[in-house]
A and B are shown apart, each in its own frame.
Chain A
Amino acid sequence: MTDLPDPIQYAIPFFIVLIIAELIYARQTGKAKFEPRDSGASLAMGLGNTVAGIVFAAVGATWLAFLVPFALFDFGWAWYVWIACFVLDDFVYYWSHRFAHTVRWFWADHVTHHSSQHYNLTTALRQPWFNIFTLKFIWFGAWMILLGFQPAMVAFCGALNLIYQFWIHTEVIKQLPDPIEAVMNTPSHHRVHHATNPVYLDRNYAGVFIIWDRMFGTFQPELSEEPCRYGIVRNLGTYNPLRIAVHEWWGIVKDVKSAKSFKHKLAYIFAAPGWSPDGSRLTTKAIKQQAGVDKPVRTLQDTSQDIAPAE
């Protein structure tokens, strides 16, 4: 199997330099917020993610190596194949990310990344530890290999995708020129993704290209009249990385244990986050309906009712 360098490994020093630069800029201008314990939790989550990657690496590698002989085609290494691979990998990322928000089993893993009420470059590194349990590498990691892309190429493009997403986790950059905002995922678009305001919830799943959200109806622009409030619907009051990593998994275990039927057990695992048999908890859909923002809006005046939470 062809080997390529892992660009993420080369990017680590630049991640650190950029975090330091943002820290200094935040201190001097007040345009970004850092809190040591929050930053520490995020960075510790990133370290744990790396450790988990090393520990569980062989599992994913074995699976993909197993798939290679079943590939429909062999697209080779031509330059245009690289471009196609990068774009298609981003398309896969969009759907993987969308499922990570809409299926609790995947959300239990991904919630980690959203669990900070801060939004700075350290938040980008707040990554889950138990990704392997979701088995996402089986569902989403396979089809490009089966189509005929080289595993090394897919891995390289996936790494570039993740590197791209690092710098968009910032409040320092407000808006980029319109053509860029139209095509690319930007800090503005991704702030929306991390916000819990009803109008922003579960929007902008893009990795690199925001066009997927525009195509599939999940794009929501950042509204000047609605500042982003970051975090999750039920925010965490802990900086303990282990608690951050396991809290939603533990929530699933408790809910499944208390469920009164097998159907409810399955729904607690695979329905949307916030699902409950009696509707006592709120899913994103219910929250948006209550707030009158079911569909993406260009301005808050587009909504039929006030954006303020229901009385």
Chain B
Amino acid sequence: MAPLIGLFLASLVIQAAITDKLAGPDPGHGLRQQGKGGGLASALFHVKNPVMTSLIIILVSALAIAALIGLNAWMGGWTPSRVESLEAAVTRLRQDLLSFEPADGVMAKDQRAAIILEKNTGRIGLVVAQGDILVTRLITPSEISKAEIDDTVLALRFRDFTFPDTKFAFDDAEAAAKWLERLTGDIEIHDRPS
């Protein structure tokens, strides 16, 4: 209960601080808001400087956000996502990409990722678990900026900065090396049997 009360009080401070002065005009509507009430922020912080008050609002908001995230983490209630099977990965790729014809594919041992080659195109379908969701991409080998092997683990980094770095754990080092070659375009990957 204490965190909840704390959050509510923090939000009241934010509101009071904003109302006290600061929020300037909304660019979409263009009005300078000169709040008439809310002396709470001034009472608490004795701040008259709008810049300083803005900083306080931002700081208190950041604290409130941290508290909300902490509350969310503490309460739990989500399940880390997994790629259940290669078929599930293909289904997800088809859902996201509308058309996707799979060739060969492989799942990471921890079921947090799958790589599926697209038939006839040489493109690579990726399904990666992140938090409680899955994220997909259809990429070409040139979109992989870094690929490294550490024994059985293949680590990939992509040029797309909105796609997470991904690690694939394979059963053995040979399989990891084989997939590294295929992903980086070192060998022919068209029309492999599924």
Contacts and interface: CB of A to CB of B under 8 A. Distances in A.
Instruction: Answer yes or no: are A and B bound together in one complex.
Output: yes
Interface residues of A, number: 79
Interface of A is mostly: helix
Interface of B is mostly: mixed
A123 interface: no
Interface in A270-290: 282, 287, 290
A35 B78 contact: yes
Contacts of A122: 68
Contacts of A51: 58
B132 interface: yes
B49 to A, nearest CB: 14
Contacts of A132: 27
B162 A247 contact: yes
A124 to B, nearest CB: 13
A38 B78 CA distance: 11
A47 B26 contact: no
Contacts of A282: 98
Contact of A236 (B54, B94, B135): B135
A58 interface: yes
A309 B162 contact: no
Interface in B9-62: 10-12, 14-15, 18-19, 22-37, 54, 57-58, 61-62
Interface of A: 1, 3-6, 9-10, 12-13, 15-17, 19-20, 23-24, 26-27, 30, 33-40, 43-44, 47, 50-51, 53-54, 56-65, 117-118, 122, 131-132, 136-137, 140-141, 151-152, 154-155, 158-159, 198, 229, 233-239, 243-244, 247, 250, 282, 287, 290-291, 309-311
The 7 closest A-B pairs by CB, nearest first: A57-B24, A60-B27, A64-B30, A155-B29, A61-B25, A237-B135, A60-B30
27 contacts: A5-B36, A6-B26, A6-B35, A10-B19, A13-B14, A23-B72, A27-B76, A33-B78, A34-B72, A34-B77, A35-B131, A35-B133, A36-B72, A40-B65, A51-B58, A60-B30, A61-B30, A61-B31, A131-B27, A132-B27, A136-B28, A155-B31, A237-B130, A237-B164, A238-B162, A290-B98, A290-B99
